[in-house]
């Protein structure tokens, strides 16, 4: 089987991909990688400060250790930015970026909105974390509590919701990484991506909304296919797992057929 690498988002956990794993594992050799410095994941190397570049370099080392010269890659949010960066570096056979971060202009209102949002998300997760084992027993509570991340939180199990909350609340590099991204700014370009690429965005994304954050990404990767998921949230692995499996598989199929980025499949 061909390798498929899955990359979660900022303050997330690899288990976010669980709803899709059984179907993907029938098609690929799947590795859900953890972003360095995140809860339950490997630490950054000694002396390396948190930054997007440091995390992307760590992902490349993960590919090297797995002996994957290239792999199909799929990432969500910061993981989507990472997926595009790996494609730019020539490490992707195909690339699917789900609501990739970095679509704001430096100094824009879209960028200035983010600190308020992430402070609220962090404060809420830290407050709720000690109560996570009992908090998510009711589907209605899961839907309400997870509404920033997914549209249908009630589809998560209580354990999945509790683990996701813990990952955010106990992310060791949460603020160091956030401040580094603010300091360094969004990606300048994704020039050099040659593999088949698909960008996916949910219409109910409340963290990086479709309007205001997708336009710049589309301009930077004009050859990418762009798919809008109606009614899906920021992490549609929960809302639309079957659809995402098809998108990943179809994008990978274009790579097997030798279809260059921006060209239709036969």
Dihedral angle, C-alpha 234, 201, 52, 59, nearest 10 °: 100
Residue range 51-107, pLDDT digits in tens: 999 999 999 999 999 999 999 999 999 999 999 999 999 999 999 999 999 999 999
- Whether the per-residue pLDDT at 266 is higher than 70: the answer is no
- Whether the per-residue pLDDT at 227 is higher than 50: the answer is yes
Report the CATH number of the 3-256 domain.
3.40.50.1820
- The first and second tokens of residue 218, run together, are 């589309």
Residue range 130-176, pLDDT digits in tens: 999 999 999 999 999 999 999 999 999 999 999 999 999 999 999 99
- Whether the per-residue pLDDT at 246 is higher than 50: the answer is yes
Domain ranges of the chain: 3-256
Asked if 34 and 59 count as a contact pair (C-beta separation under 8 A), the reply is no
């Amino acid at each position: 089987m061909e390798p498929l690498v899955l990359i979660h988002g900022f303050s997330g956990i690899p288990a976010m991909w669980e709803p899709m794993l059984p179907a993907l594992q029938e098609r690929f050799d799947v590795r859900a990688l953890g972003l360095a410095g995140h809860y339950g994941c490997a630490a950054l190397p000694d002396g390396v400060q948190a930054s997007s570049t440091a995390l992307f370099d760590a992902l490349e080392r993960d590919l090297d250790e797995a002996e994957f010269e290239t792999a199909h890659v799929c990432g969500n949010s910061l993981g989507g930015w990472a997926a595009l960066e790996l494609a730019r570096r020539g490490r992707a056979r195909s690339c699917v970026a789900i609501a990739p971060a970095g679509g704001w202009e430096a100094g824009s209102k879209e960028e200035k909105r983010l600190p308020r949002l992430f402070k609220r998300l962090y404060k809420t997760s830290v407050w709720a974390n000690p109560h996570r084992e009992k908090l998510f027993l009711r589907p209605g509570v899961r839907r309400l509590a997870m509404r920033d991340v997914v549209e249908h939180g009630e589809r998560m199990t209580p354990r999945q919701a509790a683990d996701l909350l813990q990952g955010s609340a106990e992310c060791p590099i949460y603020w160091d990484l956030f401040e580094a991204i603010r300091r360094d700014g969004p990606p300048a370009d994704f020039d050099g991506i040659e593999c088949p690429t698909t960008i996916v965005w949910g219409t109910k994304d409340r963290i990086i909304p479709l309007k205001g954050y997708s336009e710049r990404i589309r301009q930077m990767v004009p050859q990418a296919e762009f798919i809008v998921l109606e009614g899906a949230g920021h992490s549609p692995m929960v809302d639309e797992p079957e659809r995402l499996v098809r998108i990943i598989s179809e994008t990978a199929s274009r790579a097997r057929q030798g279809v260059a980025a921006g060209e239709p499949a036969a």
